[in-house]
Amino acid sequence: MPINCLVCGEVRNNKSIISFHRIPKEQVLRKKWLTACRLEEHCIKTNSVICSKHFRIDDFDETYWPQRRLKLYAVPAPSFSSFIRETQESPSSLPSCSNALEMLRSPRYVGDFKAEHFATPKRAKRRLSMLTDVIESQRKKIRALQTQNHRMQKRIKSFRELLKDLREKQILNEYAYEEILDLLYHLIIC
């Protein structure tokens, strides 16, 4: 069953960079979302979603980049949502969401930035801030992976020393020793 945006009807597909966000269960935030999108409670189902086109760039938490996660108290932009609802009767007058929000959407990858994303000082500052956050996030991930790798190397080394010690004490025969090392080798590679 396809997932559709409640506001504009955008359909989720694998090729799209649009993310879909469930309507929150917390009542105060839920009411804000429904008001901003001009929706009524009886229209909402448990799997109802709103697409990322209806949120501002600042509503997304870029620390999870390239995933598009909403900040905790993000609310859809009411102006665009109301425009969609008012023009829903005449879809021909409705511009495609991708064109209408081209300048509002944040590029998905660092390489997708263009000159117009830095056209004004405010945009440049916002993009630069986002990029520094992305870089810092990536550095943290790299450090965590390096630490994890170092710990794994230490575990492998101690495991090999244990196997060697068991073989020297003749608790483990040569065949079992070779089989365990071979298994360990395949686990490390795969």
Q: Enter the pTM of the model.
A: 0.41
Most confident of 63-77, 110-124, 168-182: 168-182
- pLDDT for 66: 64
What is the mean pLDDT of the segment spanning 74-81? 67
Backbone angles phi, psi at 146, to 5 degrees: -65, -40
Domain parsing of the chain, residue ranges: 1-106, 107-190
Rounded Cα distance between 143 and 136, Å, is 10
- pLDDT for 85: 42
pLDDT in tens, 78-99: 654 444 444 444 444 444 444 4
User: What's the N-to-C CA distance of the chain in angstroms?
Assistant: 35
| Residue of 1 and 118 predicted with greater confidence | 118
Neighbours of 81 (CB within 10 A): 24
pLDDT in tens, 9-58: 778 777 777 888 888 888 888 888 888 888 888 878 878 888 888 888 87
- pLDDT for 102: 44
Interacting residues of 77 by C-beta distance below 8 A, sequence separation 6+ = 36, 54, 55, 56, 59
Most confident of 4-13, 88-97, 100-109: 4-13
Mean pLDDT score across all residues of the chain: 77
What is the mean pLDDT of the segment spanning 117-122? 83
pLDDT in tens, 58-68: 788 777 666 77
